[in-house]
Amino acid sequence: MERLEKIGTGSLSNAELLAIILQRGTNRENAIDMSNRLLSKYGIGKLPDLSLKELQKVKGIGPVKASQILSMFEFSKRCSTAKRNIVEIRNAKDVYDYIGDKLKDLQQEHFVVLCLNTRNRITKEACVSIGTLNGSMVHPREVFKAAIRESANTIIVVHNHPSGVCKPSTDDERVTKTLIEAGRILNIDVLDHIIVGDGCYYSFKEDVNMPHP
């Protein structure tokens, strides 16, 4: 808490932020060590997907701490949803401005689906695949599952290249064609597939590799 007051939340580590939520650890382990153990085991990307029962299986995590963790992620999700509802997408740069900072420094490929309504406003953001350092595996079924649930009018798919290079691979081209064909069958258009790199992005629709200004 003292570090938060001195340097602000943005400078705290993931473990420090989680420790503030948990408030205290156990007799044998403080909150920071418990947070580090949780993050090492699951990673920050998987924690929100754990159920109350799954969290309680972790040593030192009882009903109260499990509820605190899940409530934190749910509240964050609702805040993000409220912000997304006012984001209107007009081009690839809008997509990069919206999600580029979240993806550009990740060490694994994350494949994200943005669901849009008839006004081209984002109604849902879903990460459907997390891969290795060199690639990810994505199936149309997972991509369109979120879109169908959300009754999306159109979607935009985005993924990052941990290498920092935005140039699309042969697999990227293949996946793009497959998703466009699947979208036609489902009557959910794929507006674009955007690759995020280190300070740059590539748009299949605009067919251009752009440094971010």
**Per-residue pLDDT tens digits for 35-89:** 888 888 888 878 888 888 888 888 888 888 888 888 888 887 777 666 555 578 9
Does 204 score more than 60 pLDDT? yes
* pLDDT given at position 212: 46
Does 2 score more than 70 pLDDT? no
Domain assignments of the chain as residue spans, ordered by start: 2-83, 88-211
Average pLDDT of the residues in 192-202: 93
Distance CA 3, CA 5 (A): 5
Q: Which architecture characterizes domain 88-211 according to CATH?
A: 3-Layer(aba) Sandwich (3.40)
Average pLDDT of the residues in 99-126: 90
Distance CA 114, CA 211 (A): 22
* pLDDT given at position 209: 59
Distance CA 106, CA 92 (A): 20
Q: How confident is the model at residue 105 (pLDDT cuts 50, 70, 90)?
A: confident
Does 102 score more than 50 pLDDT? yes
Tokens coding 151: 């009754």
Does 146 score more than 90 pLDDT? no
Fold category of 2-83 in CATH: DNA polymerase; domain 1 (1.10.150)
Burial 139-163 (b: 16+ CB within 10 A, else e): ebeebbebbeebebbbbbbbbbbbe
Average pLDDT of the residues in 20-43: 83
Q: β-strand 189-196 against 200-203: which pairing, if any?
A: antiparallel
Does 8 score more than 80 pLDDT? no
Please indicate whether the domains covering 2-83 and 88-211 agree at the CATH topology level. Answer: no
